Amino acid sequence: MTVTPQITVSDGRLEVRGRTVLSGVPDNITAAHAAGAGLVDGAFVGATAGEAKSHHVFTFGTLRDCRFMCLFRFKLWWMTQRMGTSGRDVPLETQFILIEVPAAAGNDDGDSEPVYLVMLPLLEGQFRTVLQGNDQDQLQICIESGDKAVQTEQGMNSLYIHAGTNPFDTITQAVKAVEKHMQTFHHREKKKLPSFVDWFGWCTWDAFYTDVTADGVKQGLRSLAEGGVPPRFLIIDDGWQQIGSENKEDPGVAVQEGAQFASRLTGIKENTKFQSEHDQDDTPGLKRLVEETKKGHGVKSVYVWHAMAGYWGGVKPSAAGMEHYESALAYPVQSPGVTGNQPDIVMDSLSVLGLGLVHPRKVYNFYDELHAYLAACGVDGVKVDVQNIVETLGAGHGGRVALTRAYHRALEASVARNFPDNGCISCMCHNTDMLYSAKQTAVVRASDDFYPRDPASHTVHISSVAYNTL
């Protein structure tokens, strides 16, 4: 018996089961079918150029009259969904597309059911791929390294496409095929889920923002218990760390609004808001608070927040006691696709004031020392925020993919050593650089912030959570 592939690229057309998905496919587009039994439904797509560059945009073909749902990064940090029927409807920074391919008009072979085609832009070597459309309905493949010194003439496995009749099964099969091919991440079923997922929890952010204090945490726990919903899981969010800012308001500085995001970490221990002036011994204030939340309020798991780079503005270079992390100022450079969707006030600030980037060789030491201190205080895990900032700092470090992988490997190694329940929540991390580099991290926040005081945002928030979890 001869098993033929369902997906073909020939005569300028991308076809699935004989149905045209894209027309006008140029000759520099290549397709290679996934090797291995049971993978005839999938293929890897590549493209070649005439010169080596750090950023390429290739025309894939023209998409018309096919319903699709895609996920794209509307901000540097987060994905959301969009639906459409043609190439012009595909946004910049698209990281996933599910296309419904109808039967051809007048089809009389008895196959009238739609076929679903999943497209997953991949990481290949030091390059990352996304999809985008243009006003001519062309679907484009964009690959970039994030470092002008890291260049290529081609991407041979830039995109994986997979076909099937059940959209949910097709998505799962596609992700597992990519997992097998890349060997850089694990599917959810292979990861340990932290125990907090079984408990109702409370995060301090919307109650206090960065003004959180030890007394405020205890007040919040009491209030929730009195209301009949005592939390068993607690996240102490941004506001507990030692930070400092060298920025002073200066009329000569172009960026003033958002300058607080350039504040940098100056120590790994808690700040004075979590220390009591009445303490009679050297017990850390954070440890006292964690013990009280567990013994006095029935909390089972306590997590604390920190940014991927330490704080929003990184780690202060040469901060006392932190010199060995070799932090140095770096200035973020965003992908054109990200800035084309939505500029970000955080990035406006950091591009002028800089971020204290811990050297990739030292980042494991940083995470391990931070997490070891937290674990000694009874903390069970961390919410690691602002993760996608790393993709903007790849210049001089081998590019965005290389730097992201270095940071994530260090993070996961430290979590494994210090938090045995796999205590980590990834946040502000919806880029494929991270998603295809996560071998251990099992919990990722599903969408942009929830804004409780903005009713118009609530439906959008719920729908984004639902679609992003696909």
Give, for 307, the enclosing helix (H) or strand (E).
Answer: strand 301-307
Q: Which of 367, 291, 271, 276 is nearest to 322 (CA)?
A: 367
Task: Give yes or no for a contact between 274 and 240, defined as CB atoms under 8 angstroms apart.
Answer: yes
pLDDT of residue 104: 75
On the 0-12 / 13-18 / 19+ scale of CB atoms within 10 A, 452 is exposed
* 23 Cβ contact partners less than 8 Å away, ≥ 6 residues apart: 12, 13, 61, 62, 64
pLDDT of residue 259: 60
Alpha carbons 132 and 59: distance in angstroms, whole number? 10
β-strands 424-426, 443-444 pairing: parallel
Q: CA geometry: angle at 158 spanning 405 and 97, to 5°?
A: 100
pLDDT of residue 4: 56
Q: Is the dihedral angle over the CA atoms 166, 167, 170, 176 positive or is it negative?
A: negative
pLDDT of residue 110: 59
Which domains are assigned to the chain? Answer: 7-183 (no CATH), 190-468 (3.20.20.70)
Beta strands in 146-200 (DSSP E): 152-164
Find tokens 């494929």 and name the residue.
432
Alpha carbons 134 and 96: distance in angstroms, whole number? 17
Alpha carbons 44 and 42: distance in angstroms, whole number? 7
Give, for 236, the enclosing helix (H) or strand (E).
Answer: strand 233-236
pLDDT of residue 1: 31
Number of CB atoms found within 10 A of residue 209's CB: 11
Task: Give yes or no for a contact between 99 and 119, defined as CB atoms under 8 angstroms apart.
Answer: yes
pTM of the model: 0.95
**pLDDT lower than 50: segments of the chain:** 1-3, 37-39, 251, 253-257
Alpha carbons 400 and 359: distance in angstroms, whole number? 14
User: If DSSP codes are grouped into helix, strand and coil, which group holds residue 60?
Assistant: strand
User: If DSSP codes are grouped into helix, strand and coil, which group holds residue 426?
Assistant: strand
On the 0-12 / 13-18 / 19+ scale of CB atoms within 10 A, 306 is buried
User: If DSSP codes are grouped into helix, strand and coil, which group holds residue 235?
Assistant: strand
240-293 pLDDT, tens digit per residue, is 999 998 665 554 544 444 667 889 999 999 999 998 765 567 899 999 999 999
pLDDT of residue 47: 98
β-strands 355-357, 381-385 pairing: unpaired
pLDDT of residue 250: 54
